[in-house]
Homo-oligomer: A and B are copies of this chain.
């Protein structure tokens, strides 16, 4: 019931109330959701630029110039904006960082070969996308979208408003935050906050394809 309420409540917010900010505990819950989200083989190929200040939001809004200007006010008027970034590639340093986090958490204490197995599984899945499917950047970005789904539902559950923004110039944002040099690239932004009283989209009914068009029950 909670989930369906959250999914019905949430919508793509078109207009934020610039006078309202998310309370710190809500922001922390959003950051926790980003951090504790699952990913394939726990590879966590992500980084999040989180803008809470006017200056920070103005920097992200540079990615909404020109053809994306319809998204500028959403970025500037939201309470917080998360720029979700993907690693452009997975190097050994990243794999070792993930393994160290798992070791430190105590996932390998019972079995001596558990660390080697976890590492081998991650390398194997990664190599399938590097060498067989040759789609590694997309595979990594798919994990960002998994996190996006996790974040949007989390926002709905916390009774806050959100809109995912694919309509951003990721090249401009890569340059603005020097992301490429850090092995990262911008994928999608999410503006979070509270809807403006006059947001036309809040009142419109949600629409989805019929159940019998999208489910095959066997």
Cα separation A209 to B49 with both chains bound (whole Å):
15
Interface SS, A side: helix
Complex contacts, A167 vs chain B, CB 8 Å = 125
What residues of chain A have their CB less than 8 Å away from a CB belonging to chain B? 1-4, 7-8, 10, 12, 29, 31-38, 40, 42, 44, 46-53, 55-56, 59, 97-98, 101-102, 104-107, 125, 135, 138, 141-143, 145-154, 157-158, 164, 166-167, 177, 204-211, 213-218
With A205-B107, A207-B105, A214-B34 as given contacts, are A2 and B4 in contact (CB-CB < 8 Å)?
no
- Quick one: copies of this chain in the complex? 2
Nearest residue in B to A85 (C-beta to C-beta)?
B216
The answer to whether B2 and A209 have CB atoms under 8 Å apart is no
The answer to whether A98 and B209 have CB atoms under 8 Å apart is yes
The answer to whether A218 and B59 have CB atoms under 8 Å apart is yes
With A142-B145, A208-B36 as given contacts, are A218 and B52 in contact (CB-CB < 8 Å)?
yes
Pick from B42, B55, B107, B166: contact of A40, CB below 8 A: B166
